[in-house]
């Protein structure tokens, strides 16, 4: 009997030792200590960072949970920064003006936070395993300029809100920050790169000649409006009105390293004059391609670095129109709307 009990104890002891040995083998699969970027979240003036960790028996689920929490941290930081921008507007416009004004700002903030986080990136990732449990560490990064651009877009798309804040210093400061984000290498007051294209130069020379005839030299504005979207820049050369027809001339450049197709949506490309009258473009020209009546879009293959002259023609304009409050171009290939505001017309009648 004693021999049987002793044998049972020996067997149990061996099993327990084997079990402990198995756990140690799994522990050896750990990949290291807690990453420094998790303990000390990086800081940069132009970016927001957020670190997070999560555990799961499934490796992919651990990564997903940690990434979601990191992006939530980015969202909280963006909301704080946008609320700070909102306070600047309120100080200039006046908090007590109306509850509608505050409500519109609040809605703009919520929209940015909820919809614009697709631009956040997971820049660092580390995995550790303890037994059957995976722990994922992730670091998310988001450019502050992207949040400012999204906030500016929300304000500009709300005509009531835009009208109230467009003349404030806070709005000008926001536009300036977005311009820096979109054109990081652009330096003020430096000559723009010479465009070696006969068609483009001709458009510029014609616009400048008309300006010289209509405006004293001291009052000529030489700085063109430039807007950057994904892989393209849009430079507004000028807008002229003749016989109740407005022609907006631009130069579009492919800034990527690949040939890209540019698609312009015609029905959603419009102008609004100073009286609020709306006009839809009747003809779109991209280099030697021109739209026909009834077309909904115009497509053009573009080559990296080569400028494409463009014209947007609007007809049956009111005889009282002297300024374009908004020129809106539907870039269907990028799913974005390019907007130019407060454009003086060159009268060539």
Q: What is the pLDDT of residues 204-251, one digit of tens each?
A: 555 455 444 443 433 333 346 888 888 899 999 889 999 899 999 999
Tell me what the pLDDT averaged over the chain comes to: 77
> What strands, in cross-sheet order, belong to the sheet with 133-143?
47-56, 133-143, 121-130
The residue written with tokens 């102008």 in the block is: 271
Taking the C-alpha atoms of residue 249 and residue 333, their distance in angstroms, rounded to an integer, is 20
Confidence band, pLDDT 50/70/90 cuts, at residue 166: confident
Max CA distance (Å), the chain:
120
Give 293's pLDDT tier (boundaries 50, 70, 90): confident
State pLDDT tens for residues 65-105.
Answer: 988 888 888 888 888 877 777 777 777 776 555 566 667 77
Residue entry with tokens 């689920």:
61
pLDDT at residue 183 in the model = 74
Highest mean pLDDT among 192-201, 290-299, 321-330: 321-330
**CA terminus-to-terminus distance, the chain:** 120
Strand partners, 140: 50, 122
Give the pLDDT score at 228. Answer: 87
With a CB cutoff of 8 Å and minimum separation 6, the contacts of 181 are 46, 143, 144, 145, 146, 148, 149
Task: With beta carbons less than 8 A apart as the criterion, state whether 268 and 212 touch.
Answer: no
Tens digit of pLDDT for each residue in 295-346?
889 999 999 888 999 999 999 999 899 999 999 999 988 888 999 999 989 8
Q: Which two tokens stand for residue 273?
A: 């004059």
pLDDT of residue 145: 82
Q: Which residue ranges does the chain devote to CATH 2.60.40.1180?
A: 192-347
Confidence band (pLDDT; 50, 70, 90) for 188? very low
More confident residue, 249 or 107: 249
CATH fold of 192-347 reads: Immunoglobulin-like (2.60.40)
């Amino acid at each position: 009997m004693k021999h049987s009990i002793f044998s049972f104890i020996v067997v149990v002891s061996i099993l327990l030792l084997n079990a402990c040995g198995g756990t140690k083998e799994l522990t050896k699969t750990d990949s290291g200590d807690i990453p420094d970027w998790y303990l000390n979240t990086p800081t940069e003036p132009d970016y927001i960072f957020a670190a997070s960790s999560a555990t799961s028996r499934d490796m992919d689920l651990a990564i997903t949970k940690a990434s979601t929490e990191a992006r939530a941290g980015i969202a909280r930081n963006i909301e704080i920064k946008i609320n700070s921008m909102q306070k600047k507007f309120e100080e200039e416009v006046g908090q007590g003006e109306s509850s509608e004004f505050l409500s519109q700002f609040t809605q703009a903030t919520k929209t940015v936070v909820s919809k614009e986080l697709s631009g956040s990136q997971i820049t660092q990732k580390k995995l550790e395993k303890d037994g059957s449990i995976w722990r994922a560490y992730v670091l998310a990064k988001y450019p502050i300029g992207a949040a400012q651009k999204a906030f500016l877009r929300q304000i500009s798309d709300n005509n009531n809100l835009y009208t109230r804040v467009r003349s404030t210093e806070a709005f000008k400061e926001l536009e300036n920050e977005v311009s820096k984000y979109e054109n990081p290498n652009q330096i003020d007051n430096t000559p723009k790169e010479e465009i070696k294209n006969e068609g483009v130069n001709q458009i510029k020379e014609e616009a400048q000649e008309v300006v010289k005839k209509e405006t004293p030299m001291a009052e000529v504005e030489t700085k063109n409006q430039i807007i950057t979207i994904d892989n393209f820049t849009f430079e507004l050369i000028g807008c002229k009105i003749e016989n109740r027809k407005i022609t907006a001339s631009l130069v579009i450049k492919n800034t990527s390293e690949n040939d890209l197709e540019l698609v312009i949506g015609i029905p959603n490309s419009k102008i609004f004059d100073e009286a609020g009258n709306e006009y839809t473009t009747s003809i779109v020209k991209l280099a030697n391609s021109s739209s026909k009546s009834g077309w909904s879009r115009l497509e053009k293959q573009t080559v990296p670095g080569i400028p494409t002259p463009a014209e947007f023609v609007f007809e049956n304009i009111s005889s009282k129109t002297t300024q374009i409050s908004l020129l809106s171009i539907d870039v269907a290939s990028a799913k974005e709307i390019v907007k130019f505001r407060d454009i003086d017309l060159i009268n060539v009648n």
